[in-house]
A and B are shown apart, each in its own frame.
Chain A
């Protein structure tokens, strides 16, 4: 019996259009992901598109979405017979319930599985497509597809089949089953989202996360590109455990289905019956109000009643729809996590200021209104027809406008409510965090209002397309095409907002600068698109098919005769609005500004490289002094610059030509005056590159004065990003954005390998090798020299200008504030100019003026920053040498970027980090102090010693600043906070390794790779000072600083630094450690097994355990090779597990170094108290991918 039911079900399902449609959709989705550059799942960097990692990742992600398809299969089994009325007949036959359910379930499951096979199939076929970049492909291995399908795909399809089969058996409705899917997804994202953001829950997730994503990422987290390309996540360990659990859960779900599924139908409950009876009794007492003659219609007077009634009906339809609540719930849970963890860094929360919550709110909730607009546009347009009420309604005297307008009003009303709900969620988070300065107007003007308009436009488009479509599904399909097209068109170079429907640009909100950047453009575009929407509305109204069997073709034929009167008037009004605003925008964007697509930008950069890279080695004189007059007009978006450079030919050879580089797209070089020179190559317009031939060669040691004028004026709106540097409040410019530089500079060149190949450039442009002495002529910052500066900045009187240098005068002249800044010693010719309406918090510290310039409402961390500056400067002056300024300034800039950057004595600091951190909880990592200390570390490492532009260059600047900050933190908070901080750094380093595109390099040869010079650098430097001694390391570093302080070419290299560390090493094991950490890519694997403790007769406890040690060297691709370990390692005994939680001193019973070797060894320690946990390298000072097995719970012997 089971067999025949199974076969029947399977063949029924396979013949069902649902099967073909889902298989097709998933095939296309996957095929797109494999073959389109813009969509990538699991691949990227050096990881192949068809690597086993990418295959498994794709199968996993797709299986999550496939839940919706699975449910269609299995819920259909249950619901079908009820809906067709066939159910009672089937159930009255002799088939047993078990055979019936299991047979049909298995049939549907196998059909669903067959449909899911389209995913690996699409990957297999997609990866053979000829247009794929061959470098992104590995060899085809069928086994990888089979493995991913059976280990990850099949169990996921099974568990979703079983769960939603059970749901359908209980609910007996397709709609409720889908509600079940959404509720399940919400819970799933909620739980994994909450837990996933906390690394300490990773193990739990790996085991219990029902789709194997957790287990998969547990296994593959620190895989290198090479491992990702060659290994499959084997069916063992957490993968096997998780998959087994999924099987059991599936069986459990099926049992529930079996238990709950009833062959007979249920009646009403007694309580409900009684309630109904009571109500009926009451109703029976009311008599109808009968009139002898029915009132007659009054068409003219009923317009408002009709509008109201229709709108109320349409709105009610949405609000009462379960789908609406499910969508809102989905949005809220998704955004809940995003809002709660918004701007969190190193586990430290932020002050939930309104401006800072709007971005995460958009990111996590933004898709919901779009779905609501699209989904309900289809539902509302087709509802009367689907309900069979269209003939009743269409034959009434309801005017045609009363179809279209109420639907649009209803969708808009719902959208606005949705946006209000989202805002309430954010407000709820603010209150929960104890933050009460809600700034409601910002929610309204920065979020609700603009997005309501944007969503309304999408709703009108959706209703319009539905009114043209032959069915709801066609309409939805058209909207899906619109959404995909709006993404892909932009990515293939059709970027103009005047033809991308509903495009209003992206406005980044800032407390300092409001919606100044992009705000005006977005409202102009909204005006333009509103006109288009009016036209669409009229078309929608005229094409509306009232009645039955009316084709769109006949509506179009009738269009000319109906296009008159009010509709024509509205359409012409729309045309007028769009045409005039469009013409104005076109004039702004294409005539005054230049419309350049990102492809054209890339092409231009490629051409620039091809034409001018040849000049990279051309010797250029150095700048020795800079005089700048900067006039800022924030309110008018204008700035004027005048500068005078003193040059000296320090190249040792005659200089025949000057290469003037001025490449900022928003500024213009008005004039440059080079004495006795002729312009021989003028590519200033396209490439910002000019060559001036000197009539008399500039001899070595000869000096010269060059003057220039430039300006930066926001003349018009642009299609691309607006200038976010010269703004109304919060100007932040650096000199490369307004002043000419001398000599070719690489910093603007194309980076991405695929892009470079596309333009026939070598895939990568590597840094000069460490051994390349010639490269020491140029430093890390570029063509920047040690200069004396004299900068006068004027701005509007209500703003405070800040630039590097000592303030020598500060006065108000009329409505202008004029401040003059002079350097007192050489600084790098790389400076920032800032101006905003600041509040200042300052403090005198040992003759140094510490100042924080911040937005008036952003004073939360000003004192903390001052403390951090004071402690940092004390530590640095004691250990590294003198601080070169009598001031130290931190200056806030609008959050258009999230970084802090060190200029001479001044540190521009984004409003999105630091200023709004909430480090009030003493146990959280105080990254405000950390970042401040890091940037002030740069006053030594960059602004005293600057490294050469070559391998290892960033280590001398960034790793050393990391080290400086770590030492400050250690002094302020003790080793305990460093331990937890380094866990984040180590994790970031290990996670980023796999994404390396070129090759991973040892620290001392790092080629500006952030994950190495910041992340690994912090871990390595901490271990080095731990082993070699903080004071000894500092003395060595101070000597290095002394050697290079303010020195020009040849610039410093890591060869000196490595030599310094080697000198500090006192024995072979220390020398080995230095070499391993700096000159190799070394990975360690420590673990502990079998720890037992016994009390000693003389008191105290003896713990014995087996320590296992491994050391490996990795090459640039991540291939590993075992190496001998013979060194000291920390051993610790604890009463509490040292993980992401705070460890108190009394939790640590013993902490000391012991010698260890590769392989296993037995270690015995004695402690006064009984340890609960013991570990080797328990604080993860070494680079160890599995820090968790370093620690073990002690068992009694």
Chain B
């Protein structure tokens, strides 16, 4: 169990990237949803011992992360949002090297580790190719392979599905789901479906604060009856935007399908729909924006 208590991080330039984060993350997949720049990566790096937050307390299974980073690292699998590789090194060799770094001491154990993982992430055929020449998806799969070395109990993945094609994304999520039953897996993402498909628990983080936390199903249930949909012409968009609080819009056959939030029937031909996680997320974002705007006016 990973628990975060009042974790706050302020960068030297004054940016408050994390603002009093309190979360308890149990075993299983945990989705951390938030727009770009919300502080997700800062939080992930802090948990992964790469950054020391300005204040607050983080612990995993009773181990203080800041005080004993070595112990955390020994149990950690981390897939950063973005990583590079050494030039001219093959996938096999680099994974083998990472296995050494993670403490797989013997050659035969490393062979088991490397070959199993390469097969698992479907990189076996290209094992003798330089990773530097891999596509984004292949590289991401390598990333997850290295994160899984040594059966970590804390797996942190930061934007793992960015840049993956749908098939790759599916394969990747399946892999995570398989592992995620017995260990803590944090899936930090700005893509709602990733969380919706996989995570029994989630949190939404915006502007460094946790805005929403719970099980996706509960959150969706709570939003029932407050989401309304209407299909309009694209040209009407601006009129509706003035009148209603649009939380999302998408295009369908050349026309816009808009969702608004309202506790009562807004009229104008809107029909109530069963909101998905996406609506919950966008509602949260919209609320946060509103609050920010109000507080800015009040100041």
What is A's interface to B at a CB cutoff of 8 Å?
279-280, 283-284, 288-291, 293-299, 301-302, 305-306, 309-310, 313, 317, 320, 383, 387-389, 391-399, 402, 546-551, 554
Say yes or no: A309-B101 contact (C-beta < 8 A), given A290-B119, A295-B109, A548-B45. Answer: yes
A295 to B110, CA, bound (A): 8
The reply to whether A391 and B119 form a contact with Cβ atoms under 8 Å apart is no
Contact B73 A395 (CB under 8 A): yes
Contact A296 B100 (CB under 8 A): no
Partner of A295, one of B49, B143, B150: B150
B73: nearest residue on chain A (CB-CB)? A397
Contact partner of B80 (CB less than 8 A), chosen from A280, A296, A392, is A392
A894 to B80 alpha-carbon distance, docked (Å)? 65
Question: A289 touching B76 by the CB < 8 A rule?
Answer: no
Q: Among B26-34, B82-90, B187-195, B251-259, which stretch is in contact with chain A?
A: B82-90
Answer whether A294 and B50 are a contact pair too, CB < 8 Å, given A283-B128, A397-B102, A399-B70. no
A12 vs chain B, min Cβ distance (A): 28
When distances are taken between beta carbons in the complex, the residues of chain A under 8 Å from B78 are 391-392, 395
On whether the beta carbons of B101 and A396 are closer than 8 Å, the reply is yes
Contact B83 A391 (CB under 8 A): yes
Q: Which of chain A's residues have a CB closer than 8 A to the CB of B143? A: 392
Q: List the 4 closest pairs (A to B, CB-CB), nearest first.
A: A388-B84, A297-B103, A547-B50, A302-B105
Contacts of B74 in A (CB 8 A): 297, 299, 397
Closest Cβ–Cβ distance, residue A283 to chain B (whole Å): 6
**Shortest Cβ distance from A282 into B: residue:** B128
Complex-state Cα separation, A394 to B119, whole angstroms = 25
Name 11 A/B residue pairs within 8 A (Cβ), A-sorted. Answer: A283-B127, A288-B115, A288-B116, A289-B115, A289-B116, A290-B120, A295-B104, A297-B104, A301-B105, A548-B45, A549-B51
B146 interface residue per 8 A CB criterion:
yes
B160 → A minimal CB distance (Å): 14
Residue contact B51 to A297, C-beta cutoff 8 Å: no
B229 to chain A, nearest CB (A): 40
15 further A-B contacts with Cβ under 8 Å, apart from A396-B102, A547-B50, are: A280-B125, A283-B128, A288-B116, A294-B150, A295-B104, A295-B109, A295-B112, A297-B104, A298-B103, A298-B104, A301-B106, A388-B85, A397-B76, A397-B101, A548-B50
Are A306 and B100 in touch, CB under 8 angstroms? yes
Specify which chain B residues have a CB less than 8 angstroms from the CB of A284 in the assembled complex. 125
Contact of A395 among B48, B82, B84, B106 (CB under 8 A): B48
Task: Contact check, A294 vs B85: say whether CB atoms are below 8 A apart.
Answer: no
Q: Which of B11, B76, B105, B149 has the most CB of A within 10 A?
A: B105
Smallest CB gap from A307: residue in B: B100
Interface string of B114-130 (1 = CB under 8 A from A): 01111110001101100
B25: Cβ under 8 A from any A Cβ: no
Residue with the greatest number of chain B CB neighbours at <10 A, chosen from A283, A301, A389, A392: A392
Q: Are B151 and A392 in contact (CB under 8 A)?
A: no
Enumerate chain A residues within 8 angstroms of B119, measured Cβ to Cβ.
Answer: 288, 290
**Judging by beta carbons under 8 Å apart, are B50 and A394 in contact?**
yes
Does B148 count as interface, using CB distance less than 8 angstroms? yes
- A interface SS class: loop
Are A294 and B73 interface neighbours, CB within 8 A? no
Interface check B169, CB cutoff 8 A: no
Count of A-B residue pairs with CB < 8 Å = 139
Give, as a whole number of angstroms, the nearest-CB distance from B175 to chain A.
Answer: 13
- Interface residues of B toward A: which range? 35 or more
Q: Is the CB of B51 within 8 A of A548?
A: yes
Closest partner residue, chain A, to B109 (CB atom): A295
B52 at the interface (CB under 8 A from A): yes
Q: What residues of B have a CB within 8 angstroms of the CB of A393 in the complex? A: 101
CA distance A288 to B104 in the complex (A): 18
B98 sits at the interface (CB 8 A): yes
* Bound-complex Cα distance A388 to B128 (A): 21
Cβ of B230 < 8 Å from any Cβ of A?
no
| A391 contacts B102, C-beta separation under 8 Å | no
- Whether B115 and A547, one on each chain, are in contact in the complex, defined by CB atoms closer than 8 angstroms, is no
The distance in angstroms between the C-alpha atoms of A391 and B44, with both chains bound, is: 11
Contact of A309 among B97, B112, B150, B151 (CB under 8 A): B97
In the assembled complex, the CB of A130 is this many whole angstroms from the nearest CB of chain B, namely: 43
Residue of A nearest to B102 (CB): A396
Does the CB pair A297–B102 fall under 8 Å? yes
List, in ascending order, chain B residues with CB within 8 A of A395's CB: 48-50, 73, 76, 78, 80
* A389:B83 contact, CB within 8 angstroms: yes
Tell me which residues across on chain A come within 8 A of B49, comparing CB atoms: 394-395, 547
Enumerate chain B residues within 8 angstroms of A299, measured Cβ to Cβ.
74, 103
Q: Is B16 an interface residue (CB 8 A)?
A: no
By beta carbon, the residue of chain A nearest B149 is: A294
- A288, A309, A554: the one within 8 Å of B124 (CB): A288
Given A387-B84, A391-B78, also A294-B116 (CB < 8 A): yes
Q: Are B51 and A388 in contact (CB under 8 A)?
A: no
Q: How far is the CA of A618 from the CA of B118 in the complex (A)?
A: 96
B111 contacts partner chain A, Cβ-Cβ < 8 Å: yes
Decide: A398 near B101, CB < 8 A? Known: A294-B149, A296-B150: yes
CA distance A301 to B109 in the complex (A): 12
What are the residues of chain A within 8 A of B48 when measuring CB–CB?
391, 395
Residues of chain A lying within 8 A (CB to CB) of residue B120: 290
> Chain A contacts of B124 at CB under 8 A?
288
Q: Is B283 an interface residue (CB 8 A)?
A: no
CA distance A288 to B45 in the complex (A): 33
Please indicate the chain B residues that have their CB under 8 angstroms from the CB of A310 in the complex.
Answer: 101
Is there an interface contact between A290 and B128, defined as CB atoms closer than 8 Å?
no
Query: Which residues of chain A have C-beta atoms less than 8 A from B87's C-beta?
Result: 387
Nearest CB in chain B to that of A387: its residue:
B84
- B106 to chain A minimum Cβ distance, whole angstroms, is 8
* A1006 to B26 alpha-carbon distance, docked (Å): 98
Bound together, the chains give a CA A1165 to CA B80 distance in angstroms of 92
Give A317 Cβ to nearest chain B Cβ, in Å.
8
Complex-state Cα separation, A208 to B146, whole angstroms? 58
Complex-state Cα separation, A259 to B11, whole angstroms: 52
Interface positions of B from 1 to 21, Cβ below 8 Å from A: 11-12
Is B113 an interface residue when CB atoms closer than 8 A count as contact? yes
B63-96: contact bitstring with A at CB < 8 Å (1 yes, 0 no)?
0000000100110101010111111100000000
B residues less than 8 Å from A396 (CB atoms): 73, 76, 98, 101-103
Please name all residues of chain B whose beta carbon is closer than 8 Å to the beta carbon of A294 when the two chains form the complex. 112-113, 116-117, 148-151
Interfacial chain B residues near A309, Cβ < 8 Å: 97, 100-101
| Cβ–Cβ contact A291 & B128, under 8 A | no
Give the Cβ gap from B162 to chain A, nearest Cβ, in Å: 15
Would A302 and B70 be within 8 Å (CB), given that A294-B116, A389-B86 are in contact?
no
Q: In whole Å, how far is B71's beta carbon from the nearest beta carbon of chain A?
A: 9
Asked if A289 and B102 sit within 8 Å, CB to CB, the answer is no
Shortest CB distance A1126–B (Å)? 78
Q: Could you say which of A320, A395, A396, A550 has the most chain B C-beta atoms within 10 Å of its C-beta? A: A395
Q: Which residues of A contact B52 (CB under 8 A)?
A: 547, 550, 554
- Using Cβ atoms and an 8 Å threshold, which residues of chain B touch A288? 115-116, 118-119, 124
Q: Could you tell me if A283 and B125 are in contact, using CB atoms closer than 8 angstroms? A: yes
Given contact pairs A283-B128, A294-B150, A550-B51, A302 touches B118 in the complex (Cβ within 8 A):
no
Q: With the chains together, A548 CA to B102 CA distance in Å? A: 19
Contact A302 to B103, CB < 8 A, known contacts A295-B109, A320-B88, A392-B83: yes
Bound Cα distance A294, B109 (Å): 8
Chain B residue nearest in CB terms to A295: B109
CA distance A389 to B115 in the complex (A): 22
Closest to B80 in A: A391
* Assembled-state Cα–Cα distance A393/B82 (Å): 13
**Complex Cα gap A114–B100 (Å):** 52
Report A362 CB to chain B, min CB distance, Å.
35
| Closest chain A residue to B48, Cβ basis | A395
Q: How far is the CA of A547 from the CA of B69 in the complex (A)?
A: 11
Q: Once the chains bind, are A391 and B45 in contact (CB under 8 Å)?
A: yes
Distance (whole angstroms) from the CB of A298 to the closest CB of chain B:
5
Q: A388 vs B82: C-alpha distance in the bound complex, in angstroms?
A: 8
- Asked whether A297 lies within 8 Å of B86 as measured between CB atoms, the reply is no
Question: CA–CA, A142 to B123, complex, Å?
Answer: 69
Residues of A within 8 A of B146 (CB): 392
